[in-house]
Chain A
Amino acid sequence: MKKFPLLRSLALSLALLTTFPSFAAVKKEFRICWTIYAGWMPWGAISNEKIIDKWASRYGIKINIVQLNDYIESINQYTAGQFDGCTMTNMDALTIPAAGGVDSTALITGSYSDGNDGIVLKGTGKTLADLKGMDVYLPELSVSHYLLVRGLEKAGLQEKDVRVVNTSDADIVSAFGTDSVRAAVAWNPQLSAIKSTPQTSEVFSSSQVPGELIDMMVVNTQTLADNPALGKALTGAWFEMMGKMQAGDEAALSAMASDAGTDLAGYRAQLNTTHLFWTPADTLKFVSSSDLPKIMQRVAQFSFDKGLLGQGAQSADAIGISFPGNVTQGDTSNIKLRFDDSYLKMAAAGER
């Protein structure tokens, strides 16, 4: 029996040794992961309807789109080098792969939360100011936490005026069902379940900070530089699906709705609070605007205040972020997160 832990540890270490990030290489096969969220459901449809295969074969490559169940775990897997790309928010892209030294590119800034995240209090007619002195239940260090801090700022309060209780996003709905929980921050679909509780008021939502919680497709910068075909295929497939959705393709939307565990009406309601960019031109306008660096500055400051940029970080500028048009922010010698517009430009110009 003594032998087994030994064998297992050796096997495990071998597995870890072989998974270290690979370097500059032209590859033919890629792995992309995504998780369930209103703004990412198109990736499932792109995979199911073989749209990705069509675009990938055009460039002679193969792209496997894999759905994972745990959001944070999917980002960790991407950061560890198991996937070439993954869906994540702007904040998590900065604090997990970028802070972990994995140079990452936001290839498609697909949408931003326009009401998909919200702060809900029990009782009717409540306002943000009522948060003072309350216990607030939310997944700590997540976009919900960021939204709370932004809300408190707007109400002239500080984070120390409330007590944050870390609650996993999977349990937030049942937590809100208990009497002791009076305030919670959540995202959809949990948010809509919480808001449907009688006698509650939503005192703040992401629609009041438009463009700050961005949901994107992030790809390893090195892999993208070595394999431009990956960027072209992903961008092309994404906007083909956007075109279908904008045209109201019921079959595609119903498939996404059932994958998201709701019906067509329910999914349409979620899309109403998700600001999707339908065309490459719209996306291009968003990533090129001068607001984006300001938003990222704010997100970086929040992340630094919470210690999310790592202990070596001396300031919110420790990790450099680049934007289209040679705009950079933070440490230019340590650029780890890049907002890219080259593939969007190609898509906008109709190039293939």
Chain B
Amino acid sequence: MRHINRHPRQGMQIVLMLLPFVLIAAAWFMGSAVRLEANPHDKLLPGLGQMLDAVQRMAFTPDKRSGDYLLWTDTAYSLIRLLTGLGISALLGLAIGIMAGVVPLLRASLSPLMTVISMIPPLAILPMLFIVFGLDELSKVMLIVIGITPMLARDLEQRAREIPAELFIKAQTLGANSWTLVLRVVLPQLLSRLITSLRLLLGSAWLFLISAEAISATAGLGYRIFLVRRYMAMDVILPYVIWITLLAWLMDLALRQLHKACFPWAEGGRA
């Protein structure tokens, strides 16, 4: 039998899925045990107990100075920034994508502009962003917006241009003007793609969020990680990383479910 035709059975599938994770955890705890035996104060590879202590301290004990539960405060700050950034990017990206994808006169100037802007690494122009947007919440949201809007806009423009010309001709034959065309033909198709694009760009959005928080902030998940890095508190950093991964995965799952619920027709044969 050829390898490409051999499929794991259900039990095997689960074992194969868990195996890499188990191996990573095992390697970690072995390394951690060796280092902790050599030096009980080692901070590089904390053991499970140290990490649970850190979680207890960060999530379920009020901070001595501010009285806040740090993990939840950080999460709230970060999520608000991230969701605001994603929301603004989605609206902007959709608007630009439709304009450039449907109206040739607008495409002529918008499309090359987006291509160029999307090539600029936002982190490289940080000092300029500071001067224009200040150092407050606005600059953190704007870094996300500048980072992902051009990609969204380019993707949506491309999708809009892939809509079969027959659909446009038919709609025009039925008397649709440009505005009705956008509303009834283009928008429904692009909304489905918008959700998929957002899913793909979630990783970049988190990257920009963490970078923005590392540079200047008073709270947030990225702020905390870069703050405790100062004294190498890996016992705090690791749970935070796992927490961020979990949040990102949940957001991806939520978008996927939303897509399934709103656009079952776009799920191919699988819906």
Contact = CB atoms under 8 A, between A and B. Distances in A.
B127 A101 contact: no
Interface in A68-102: 72, 76, 79-80, 95-96, 99-102
A200 B31 CA distance: 51
B39 A102 contact: yes
A171 B41 contact: no
Given A12-B27, A166-B218, A168-B215, A174 B227 contact: no
Count chain A CB atoms within 10 A of each CB in B31, B54, B135, B136 and give the residue with the most. B135
Nearest to B219: A166
B31 A13 contact: yes
Contacts of A2: 16, 20
B215 A141 contact: no
B24 A17 contact: no
Contact of A79 (B20, B31, B43, B135): B43
Interface stretch (A178-186, A244-252, A254-262, A340-348): A178-186
Contacts of B226: 166, 168
Contact of B35 (A20, A164, A180): A20
Contacts of A175: 130, 135, 216
A167 interface: yes
Count chain B CB atoms within 10 A of each CB in A23, A79, A137 and give the residue with the most. A79
B135 to A, nearest CB: 6
A2 B131 CA distance: 45
Nearest to A303: B231
B256 interface: no
Given A12-B27, A13-B30, A99-B41, A72 B230 contact: yes
A191 interface: no
Interface stretch (A3-11, A287-295, A323-331): A3-11
Contacts of B232: 76, 79, 96, 100
A171 B229 contact: no
A171 B215 contact: yes
Contacts of A167: 135, 215-216
A327 B42 CA distance: 27
B126 A171 contact: yes
Nearest to B63: A307
Contact of B214 (A10, A80, A168, A177): A168
A203 B20 CA distance: 56
Main secondary structure of the interface of B (DSSP, over half): helix
B34 interface: yes
A311 interface: yes
Contacts of A165: 135, 216-218
Given A20-B38, A137-B216, A178 B134 contact: yes
Interface in A14-28: 16-17, 20-21, 23
Contacts of B229: 72
Interface residues of B, number: 42
B131 A178 contact: yes
A142 interface: yes
B34 A20 contact: yes
A257 to B, nearest CB: 25
A128 B231 CA distance: 29
Interface string B14-28: 001001100110011
Interface in A111-150: 137, 139-142
A78 to B, nearest CB: 11
B218 A174 contact: no
Nearest to B233: A310
A308 interface: yes
A163 interface: yes
Contacts of B130: 171, 174-175, 177-178
Given A165-B218, A175-B130, A311-B53, 10 more contacts: A2-B16, A9-B23, A17-B30, A79-B232, A166-B218, A166-B226, A171-B130, A175-B135, A177-B130, A311-B57
18 contacts: A5-B20, A6-B20, A12-B27, A13-B28, A13-B31, A17-B34, A72-B230, A96-B230, A99-B231, A101-B43, A140-B227, A141-B230, A166-B226, A167-B215, A168-B215, A171-B215, A171-B216, A310-B41
Which 3 pairs, one residue from A and one from B, show the smallest C-beta to C-beta distance? A101-B41, A13-B27, A174-B127
Interface of A: 2, 5-6, 9-10, 12-13, 16-17, 20-21, 23, 72, 76, 79-80, 95-96, 99-102, 137, 139-142, 160, 163-168, 171, 174-175, 177-181, 308, 310-311
